[in-house]
């Protein structure tokens, strides 16, 4: 059974709302949202990042597909992640999520969350450096 | 296509200035002028004084209450959250012209934090022992309190500030020496910026009463209404509103006329104050100073237009129903709804571009989502001009702004950006975008495979046939096929 809880445009609209709402805390960083349905669950990604991806913070949520109201469940999960970011900014970005999946409950829903702040720009530079070194060794 | 680039003029939608209704001369001629003046909203009073020039309104200044004067100071003598003492002293100098002692009285009636914050960065205070330890050069720069072994120095190279502070202190010494000494000594001994910091908080609290909320809170005015609301408005179903004859009035004015009948007006909250509060909220959201009157006037016009648009939509263009909404809904909520209608149009415009230029449309959408309006405008100007032409580029640029504007042609060679303040405007705007979409599709040779779609579209919206963009597009496209279709309609 294929389904699309939120289409691409709706994700962008919700990301726009988050960008407006957290305009002060996010600074020049911005939010993007993707929703990827899998076989038995739906994966929600809310990423806070900057243009060059030197700051890249994907908050991932995973919710089981149990009934027809998956759309409402996904929206409730997005609300929860939005609340998390509100507290994140209020506490000067000192509230973190676990790196590995951890179960949470919110408004009668069970889901898993994880998140880790990355610096993709540095990682890409490091990868390039390592690949160059490997090539040289060969 | 165009022989010359038309000029684009910004057009202020506000029909009335917020200060234009204050006639000081008539007011002062009345017996209870003081009482009437003291009931006026400080913000309205402030803009009226600025319009006429405070130096021409000495009689009015003399009658102001302490609270009103302090609020005027709150609006005028700050820049980017910092106190500008020179501006404060300029206001006080006007009181010196009325009567020297009134200058000191006004200053002394301000909050203590204002008095200290204004003077603390500019004064140094010395007793006799300190004075003796200074060099002769330094001693020469100091001023002495009459009959006192106490000295002060004005630390500024600005001759105006020297004159202003000297006038203030000499007048204070003449009226109340103890007050003058206490003022100088407290100001000079005050920790740097402590008084100003406290003052900022008090000022901020006072400004919030007018709607100048903190920046974090102000952003909520741009948040769209709940997208999960069951009744999402659809722009494509608004054609019935074309029959409305506005006669150049805002729908809001029609609604207010209903309010003036009978006893209705008594149940309506103070709309002028609420509109001003909404405009002040926008000022805070757009980081505009309270003293920036032209910008405030523009935002007030925007607020009126979008509130009018929202009322017209919600009430299905019925002024009586609209009055019911006005009684029960906050103007800010109506503003958000009006903005939401335009944000929907923004998305439509970007989606339209996606069919002909998907990469550029994606870029525009990304900027819109990220709320990067300056980058958005730059991108439109640099990457879409060749594709769209000058007029459509300006049209898109006006639409894809934080506060969307519509491009209107006035005469042969003049364009203006105006607010969207009626359903007819909104529908016309939508049709312009449909025509633009059509034009792009034709230019991209996409239509020959969707002639039926074009036919259906033109049958549903025959007014598009008169749209210039469609005819311009026909010039470049499969003319025979399209003309055949048009002949059958």
Q: What percent of chain B has pLDDT over 70?
A: 79
Tell me what pLDDT residue B199 has. 92
Nearest to B223 among A12, A17, A30 (CB): A17
Give start and end residues of each alpha helix (H) in chain A.
8-21, 23-26, 70-90, 120-137
Write out the H or E segment, with its range, that includes residue B362.
Answer: helix B358-369
Query: Measured on CA atoms in the order B202, B208, B212, B214, is the torsion positive or negative?
Result: positive
- Domain check: are B242 and B179 in the same one? no
Residue B285: both structure tokens together? 């959201």
Q: What percent of chain B has pLDDT over 90?
A: 28
pLDDT in tens, B389-403: 888 899 999 999 989
Kindly state the average pLDDT of the residues B317-339.
Answer: 85
Whether B8 is covered by a domain: the verdict is no
Helix axes of B331-356 and A8-21: crossing angle, nearest 10 degrees: 140
Helix axes of B194-210 and B112-119: crossing angle, nearest 10 degrees: 130
Contact at CB, B347 and A75, closer than 8 angstroms: no
- Beta-carbon neighbour count of residue B92 at 10 Å? 21
- Domain check: are B312 and B283 in the same one? yes
Q: What are phi and psi of A24, to 5 degrees?
A: -75, -50
Nearest to A23 among B219, B347, B365 (CB): B219
- Domain check: are B70 and B178 in the same one? yes
Tell me what pLDDT residue B86 has. 94
Helix or strand or coil: residue A61? strand
Cβ–Cβ < 8 Å for A48, A93:
no
Q: Compute the CA torsion angle B291, B297, B298, B303 (nearest 10 deg).
A: 110
Whether B401 is covered by a domain: the verdict is yes
Whether B6 is covered by a domain: the verdict is no
Nearest to A74 by CA among A11, A2, A9, A30: A11
Contacts of residue A109, defined as CB under 8 A and 6 or more positions apart, other chains included, come to A63, A73, A76, A77
Tell me what pLDDT residue B12 has. 36
Kindly state the average pLDDT of the residues B224-231.
Answer: 48
The strand order across the sheet containing A109-115 reads: A30-37, A41-49, A56-64, A109-115, A102-106
Measured between CA atoms, how close is B136 to chain A, in angstroms? 53
Q: Domain count of chain B? A: 2
**Predicted confidence (pLDDT) at residue B14 exceeds the cutoff of 60:** no
Q: What's the CA gap between B190 and B184, in Å, rounded?
A: 10
Contact at CB, B347 and A13, closer than 8 angstroms: yes
In chain A, which residues touch B (CB < 8 A)? 9-10, 12-17, 19-21, 23-24, 30, 32, 75
Tell me what pLDDT residue B9 has. 42
Contact at CB, A20 and B227, closer than 8 angstroms: no
In this complex, is the C-beta atom of B375 within 8 Å of any C-beta atom belonging to chain A?
no
Interface ipTM above 0.90 = no
Residue B464 DSSP one-character state: G
- Domain check: are B108 and B226 in the same one? no
| Chain B contact probe: residue of A8, A12, A34, A76 with most B CBs at under 10 A | A12
Whether B454 is covered by a domain: the verdict is yes
Kindly state the average pLDDT of the residues B9-21.
Answer: 48
Whether B1 is covered by a domain: the verdict is no
Tell me what pLDDT residue B293 has. 84
Q: What's the CA gap between A63 and A73, in Å, rounded?
A: 8
Of the two residues B431 and B336, the one the predictor is more confident about is: B336
Asked which of B144, B179, B207 is the last residue of a domain, the reply is B207
pLDDT in tens, A28-49: 899 999 999 888 889 999 999 9
Q: What's the CA gap between B172 and B169, in Å, rounded?
A: 5
Task: Band the pLDDT of A134: cuts 50, 70, 90.
Answer: low
- Domain check: are B294 and B319 in the same one? yes
Lowest mean pLDDT among A123-127, B157-161, B464-468: B464-468
Helix or strand or coil: residue B182? helix
Cβ–Cβ < 8 Å for B111, B195:
no
Task: Band the pLDDT of B287: cuts 50, 70, 90.
Answer: confident
Cβ–Cβ < 8 Å for B25, B50:
no
Measured between CA atoms, how close is A136 to chain B, in angstroms? 38
Q: What's the CA gap between B236 and B315, in Å, rounded?
A: 17
Whether B58 is covered by a domain: the verdict is no
- Give B253-279 as a DSSP string: HHHHHHHHSTTGGGGS--HHHHHHHHH
Of the two residues B263 and B326, the one the predictor is more confident about is: B326
Residue B486: both structure tokens together? 């048009």
Q: What are phi and psi of A113, to 5 degrees?
A: -135, 150
Task: Band the pLDDT of B483: cuts 50, 70, 90.
Answer: low
- Domain check: are B218 and B357 in the same one? yes
In this complex, is the C-beta atom of B226 within 8 Å of any C-beta atom belonging to chain A?
no
pLDDT in tens, B53-89: 999 999 999 999 999 999 999 999 999 889 999 999 9
**Predicted confidence (pLDDT) at residue B225 exceeds the cutoff of 70:** no
Asked which of B187, B207, B227 is the last residue of a domain, the reply is B207
**Predicted confidence (pLDDT) at residue B192 exceeds the cutoff of 90:** no
Residue B403: both structure tokens together? 């506060």
Contacts of residue B1, defined as CB under 8 A and 6 or more positions apart, other chains included, come to B389, B472
Kindly state the average pLDDT of the residues B129-141.
Answer: 88
Contact at CB, B369 and A24, closer than 8 angstroms: no
Of the two residues A97 and B467, the one the predictor is more confident about is: A97
**Predicted confidence (pLDDT) at residue A17 exceeds the cutoff of 50:** yes
Measured between CA atoms, how close is A100 to chain B, in angstroms? 28
Residues of chain A in contact with residue B220, where contact means CB-CB under 8 angstroms, are 21
Nearest to B228 among A9, A32, A75 (CB): A75
Helix or strand or coil: residue B11? coil
Q: What's the CA gap between B117 and B115, in Å, rounded?
A: 6
| Domain range enclosing B278 | 213-489
Q: What's the CA gap between B334 and B326, in Å, rounded?
A: 8
Asked which of B182, B207, B232 is the last residue of a domain, the reply is B207
Strand B150-154 vs strand B123-127: parallel, antiparallel, or unpaired?
A: antiparallel
Cβ–Cβ < 8 Å for A86, A22:
yes
- Domain check: are B284 and B343 in the same one? yes
- Domain check: are B224 and B76 in the same one? no
Tell me what pLDDT residue B235 has. 46
Average pLDDT, chain B: 80
Kindly state the average pLDDT of the residues A7-35.
Answer: 90
Q: What's the CA gap between B137 and B143, in Å, rounded?
A: 13
- Domain check: are B192 and B221 in the same one? no
Contact at CB, A30 and B369, closer than 8 angstroms: yes
- Beta-carbon neighbour count of residue B424 at 10 Å? 19
């Amino acid at each position: 059974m294929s389904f699309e809880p939120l289409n691409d445009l709706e994700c962008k609209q919700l990301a726009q709302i988050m960008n407006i709402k957290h305009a002060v805390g996010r600074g020049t960083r911005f939010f993007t949202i993707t929703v990827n349905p899998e076989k038995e669950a739906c994966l929600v990604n809310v990423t806070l990042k900057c243009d060059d991806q030197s700051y890249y913070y994907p908050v991932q949520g995973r919710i089981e597909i149990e009934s027809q109201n998956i759309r409402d469940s996904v929206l409730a999960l997005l609300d929860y992640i939005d609340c998390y970011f509100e507290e994140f900014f209020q506490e000067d970005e000192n509230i973190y999520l676990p790196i590995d999946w951890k179960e949470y409950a919110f408004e009668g829903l069970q889901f898993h969350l994880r998140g880790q702040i990355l610096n993709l720009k540095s990682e890409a530079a490091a990868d390039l450096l390592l690949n160059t070194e490997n090539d040289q060794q060969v | 296509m165009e022989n010359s680039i038309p000029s684009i003029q910004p057009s202020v939608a506000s029909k009335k200035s917020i200060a234009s209704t204050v006639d000081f001369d008539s007011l002062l001629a009345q017996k209870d002028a003081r009482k009437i003046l003291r009931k006026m909203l400080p913000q309205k009073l402030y803009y009226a004084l600025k319009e006429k020039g405070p130096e021409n309104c000495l009689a009015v200044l003399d009658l102001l209450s302490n609270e009103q004067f302090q609020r005027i100071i709150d609006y005028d003598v700050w820049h980017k959250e910092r106190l500008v003492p020179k501006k404060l002293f300029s206001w006080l100098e006007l009181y010196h012209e009325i009567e020297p002692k009134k200058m000191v009285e006004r200053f002394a009636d301000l909050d203590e934090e204002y008095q200290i914050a204004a003077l603390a960065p500019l004064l140094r205070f010395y007793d006799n022992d300190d004075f003796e330890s200074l060099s002769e050069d330094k001693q020469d720069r100091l001023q002495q309190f009459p009959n006192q072994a106490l000295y002060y120095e004005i630390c500024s190279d600005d001759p105006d500030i020297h004159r202003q502070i000297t006038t203030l202190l000499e007048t204070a010494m003449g009226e109340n020496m103890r007050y003058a000494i206490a003022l100088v000594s407290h100001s000079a001994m005050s920790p740097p910026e402590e008084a100003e910091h406290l003052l900022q908080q008090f000022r901020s609290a006072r400004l919030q009463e007018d709607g100048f909320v903190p920046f974090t809170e102000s952003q909520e005015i741009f948040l769209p209404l709940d997208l999960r609301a069951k009744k999402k408005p659809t722009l494509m179903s608004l054609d019935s509103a074309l029959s409305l004859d506005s006669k150049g009035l805002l729908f809001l004015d029609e609604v207010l006329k209903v309010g003036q009948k009978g006893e209705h007006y008594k149940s309506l909250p103070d709309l002028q104050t609420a509109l001003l509060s909404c405009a002040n909220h926008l000022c805070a959201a757009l980081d505009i100073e309270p003293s920036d009157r032209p910008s405030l006037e523009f935002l007030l016009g925007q607020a009126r237009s979008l509130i009018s648009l929202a009322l017209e939509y919600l009430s299905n263009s019925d002024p009586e129903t609209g009055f019911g909404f006005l009684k029960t809904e906050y103007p800010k909520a109506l503003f958000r709804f009006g903005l939401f209608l335009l944000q929907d149009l923004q998305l439509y415009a970007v989606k339209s571009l996606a069919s002909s230029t998907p990469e550029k449309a994606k870029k525009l959408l990304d900027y819109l989502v990220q709320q990067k309006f300056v980058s958005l405008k730059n991108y439109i100007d640099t990457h879409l001009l060749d594709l769209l032409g000058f007029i459509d580029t300006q049209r898109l640029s006006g639409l894809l702004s934080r506060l969307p504007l519509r491009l209107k042609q006035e005469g042969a060679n003049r364009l203006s950006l105006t607010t969207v303040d009626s359903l007819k405007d909104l529908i016309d705007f939508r049709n312009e975008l449909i025509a633009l979409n059509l034009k792009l599709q034709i230019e991209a040779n996409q239509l020959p495979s969707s002639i039926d779609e074009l036919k259906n579209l033109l049958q549903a919206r025959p007014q598009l046939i008169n749209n210039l963009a469609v005819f311009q597009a026909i010039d470049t496209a499969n003319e025979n096929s399209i003309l055949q279709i048009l002949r059958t309609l």
